Amino acid sequence: MGRLILASASPRRRELLALTGLPYEVRPGGMEEVIETEDPEEAVKALSAQKAAGGLSEAEPGDVVIGADTVVAIDGRILGKPRDEAEAFSMLRELSGRTHQVYTGVTVVKKGREDEACTFAEQTSVRVLPMKDQEILDYIATGEPMDKAGAYGIQGRFAVYVEGIEGDYQNVVGLPVCRLWQALKPYRGELI
């Protein structure tokens, strides 16, 4: 028996993990994240493994740790969190009127069974309506873009600009709950 530990500071991921109905604790690691690849899928897998490793260092035998990381990619290039409003503007202008990809990487690992760790990345495509510059500025003024990969939150005011998606919606919010639910199958019965 062990605890399920979410190694993430994101309040959105916390809410999404609650959808599984499993008991869990949140332990955001304070680790510096290092990306050594420019491939979005490989990057989120590596970052999720780093976050899980951070959580694992404070876990007890039997605990199951989840690490996750999300990036937005367009034309194969990664858009992270904007550093300022000017960068948010240029990111949103790039997403306007086009389809981009959102990748969330997830690592699930049990303390004491690190050799059975599972890492995967889930991809969702997002079609964004053409946005006028004033609409982009109005959206930035809501404050939503600043702490989010790609400078938008699909679950907030940006929803009016999202024509449609293909794939797991929750993956865009920050955690692919359907695939995670499957990955947690071996552990579901042993969590306290």
Contact positions toward its own copies, by CB under 8 A? 16, 19-21, 124, 129, 142, 154, 156-157, 159-170, 177-178, 180-182
Q: How far is the CB of 42 from its own copies (least distance, A)?
A: 22
Q: How far is the CB of 180 from its own copies (least distance, A)?
A: 8
Catalytic residue among 39, 69, 138, 168: 69
When the beta carbons of 19 and 86 are compared against its own copies, the nearer one is 19
User: Which of 97, 164, 155, 165 shows the shortest CA–CA distance to 131?
Assistant: 97
Angle at 116 between CA 113 and CA 120, to 5 degrees: 135
Q: How far is the CB of 36 from its own copies (least distance, A)?
A: 30
When the beta carbons of 31 and 169 are compared against its own copies, the nearer one is 169
Q: How far is the CB of 83 from its own copies (least distance, A)?
A: 26
Whether 47 and 80 have beta carbons less than 8 Å apart is answered as no
Whether 162 and 154 have beta carbons less than 8 Å apart is answered as yes
When the beta carbons of 86 and 129 are compared against its own copies, the nearer one is 129
Task: Give yes or no: 147 in active site.
Answer: no
When the beta carbons of 61 and 164 are compared against its own copies, the nearer one is 164
CA distance 35 to 46: 7
Please list, residue by residue across 148-175, b when 16 or more beta carbons sit within 10 angstroms of its beta carbon and e when fewer do.
bbbbbbbbeebeebeeebebbbbbbbbb
Angle at 48 between CA 44 and CA 50, to 5 degrees: 120
Q: Would you please indicate which residues are annotated as catalytic (active-site) residues?
A: 69
